[in-house]
Structure 1
Amino acid sequence: MRVTQGCFSFLPDLTDDQITSQIQYCLDKGWAVNIEFTDDPHPRNTYWEMWGLPMFDLRDAAGIMKELADCRRVYGDRYIRISGFDASHGWESVRISFIVNRPANEPGFGLARQEAEGRNQRYSTYVYAAKKPEGERYSS
């Protein structure tokens, strides 16, 4: 099962040239770009770990691609995403976010059903990989 979060998630993985083009698009719009990683991609886990600080001052995609390469070298076995943050008045929010790295094996999610009062059913999702401790979730 493939995690589908953010822009382009239903497309094949972006190449580095395509990632560079998307980053440059963000920079041309004046957005700050940041890199985040996690080994728990649950849809409600919006707080991924940041790789350094948001790059407010960079205007060339090459600098961000270097940071991405460094992040992949350290956390290449996890999910890595890039986000473009628009700080202009009236927006102050993420305008684009997309996954740029995935673990080799994506075990997916499970659906847990819970009986509730009356005949009601409640459902929640959980990541199969979260049964393992952090740092070991995607190792063979």
Structure 2
Amino acid sequence: MSEVQDYPSRLGDPASRRFETFSYLPPMSEEALRSQVAWIIERGWNPAVEHCEPENAMHHYWYMWKLPLFGETDVDRILDECRRCRDANPGHLVKLIGYDNQRQTQGTAMLIYRPQD
């Protein structure tokens, strides 16, 4: 059996914190992010974008970027909103959410952008 990898994530170090499943992986390429958005759309889920300061991400609610994109099926429009959120909030973490209409809950949530510093 292989050894379990330890991630040096510490509350006192905002740059090392892990949020959501994909934050443990290397940053997603644009193509990988496009695939995730397409996956959300294929399930009929409504995408939404949230953002937050890294130091407040564990203790505060995240800010919603506009309203969820109800019924949006254009991957490029969704990715454009993600980029607009990142550009308007350069020091924030940005998260993509897929709301499941049937279960009335989040079907998925993933950290898609981290601040450059």
Match of 1:103 among 71, 91, 115: 115
Partner residue in 2 for 1:37: 51
Q: CA deviation at 1:7?
A: 2.0
Specify every segment of 5 or more residues in structure 2 that has no aligned partner in the other structure, as ranges.
1-14
Structure 1 vs Structure 2 CA RMSD: 1.3
* 3-state SS in 2 of match to 1:20: helix
Partner residue in 1 for 2:72: 58
Task: State how many pairs are aligned.
Answer: 101
The structure with the greater share of residues assigned to strand is: 1
The percentage of aligned residue pairs carrying the same residue is 25
Superposition TM-score, scaled by structure 1 size: 0.68
| Over 2 Å off, 4+ runs | none
* 3-state SS in 2 of match to 1:68: helix
* 3-state SS in 2 of match to 1:8: helix
Partner residue in 1 for 2:20: 6
Question: Is 1:80 aligned to residue 100 of structure 2?
Answer: no
Q: CA deviation at 1:76?
A: 2.0
Q: CA deviation at 1:2?
A: 2.1
Question: Is 1:93 aligned to residue 105 of structure 2?
Answer: yes
CA distance in 2, matches of 1:19, 1:2: 21
- Tell me which amino acid in the other structure corresponds to 2:88: V
* 3-state SS in 2 of match to 1:85: strand
CA distance in 2, matches of 1:7, 1:92: 20
- Tell me which amino acid in the other structure corresponds to 1:64: I
Q: CA deviation at 1:104?
A: 2.8
Verify the 8 A CA contact 1:6 1:96 in the aligned structure 2.
Answer: no
Specify every segment of 5 or more residues in structure 1 that has no aligned partner in the other structure, as ranges.
106-140
CA distance in 1, matches of 2:24, 2:65: 25
* 3-state SS in 2 of match to 1:12: coil
